[in-house]
Amino acid sequence: MIRTLIVDDEPPARARLRRMIEALPDCEVSGEAGSGTTALKMIEASKPDLVLLDISMPGLDGMGLAAALQKMESAPEIVFCTAWPDQALEAFNRDAVDYLVKPVRKERLQAAVAKVARLLAANNPQVSQQFLRSTVGGKTLLIRLEDVICLVAEDKYTTVCYEEGKTVINESLVELERRFPGLLLRVHRKSLVAPGRIRGLERTRSGKCMLVLNGTKERPEVSRRQLSTVRQLIRDLG
């Protein structure tokens, strides 16, 4: 779970962010703070994974808190959520993962949290050593997670498309999402993809949106529900 601290001096803004975070899988709100000073004490005590941070606050403001966190060992990731659209450059100089302008849209917050999840996973040495296991015809094949391009759910198994070809595994997409939080993106109820493999989108004559992926000719379909998230990710990666 991504433990999230919400920092904003306006209670309605905190409540709105709380609702959106609690609606996301693998996320939970670890606390709320109405000032940078209070937030710093809470961060030192509870060590959250992520801070959703406003800029304009009495006392220690958001930029001041971000500067303090830069000096902290094992600091949480920061996503700014602010009404000020013109301070993004300074925010990224303070090591922010993303910069969201109020009113924060659900799709943008979801994309920002996905970035944070990938960063947290990349910094976990155990994750980088994980594999998918495929057993076909009595032979076992280990596939490095970094070689996976996409996964498609079939009737009783999951097809893995990876750098050297295709194979099948017995794990479901739900199980894979739990094993590798933030490393595989759900684009449809029947498919997951490695976000770094996404090259673009193309539309079929029937109106379906299909993903174009590096390293394969497979074109997984993108559901309407996930389309805005995928488009935002493509813009971020571009």
- Note down pLDDT in tens along the chain; length 238 residues: 899 999 999 999 999 999 999 998 789 999 999 999 999 999 999 999 999 999 999 999 999 999 999 999 889 999 999 999 999 999 999 999 999 999 999 999 999 998 888 778 766 655 545 788 888 776 778 788 889 999 999 888 999 999 889 999 999 999 999 888 888 999 999 999 999 899 999 999 999 999 999 999 999 999 999 999 899 888 877 6
What ranges do the domains of the chain cover? Answer: 2-122, 126-237
What is the rounded CA–CA span in Å between residue 176 and residue 160?
A: 11
| Domain formed by 126-237, architecture | Beta Barrel (2.40)
CA atoms within 13 A on the CB side of 160: 25
Alpha-carbon Rg for the chain, nearest whole angstrom, is: 20
Q: Is 165 exposed, middle or buried (0-12, 13-18, 19+ CB in 10 A)?
A: exposed
Residue ranges of E strands in the chain: 2-7, 27-33, 50-53, 77-82, 98-101, 131-136, 139-144, 148-153, 158-162, 165-169, 185-188, 191-193, 198-203, 209-213, 221-222
pLDDT of residue 70: 94
Question: Helix %, strand %, coil % for the chain, to 5?
Answer: 35, 30, 30
**Domain 126-237 in the same topology as domain 2-122:** no
pTM for the whole thing? 0.57
pLDDT of residue 204: 93
Q: What class, spelled out in words, does domain 2-122 have in CATH? A: alpha beta
pLDDT of residue 125: 58
pLDDT of residue 126: 56
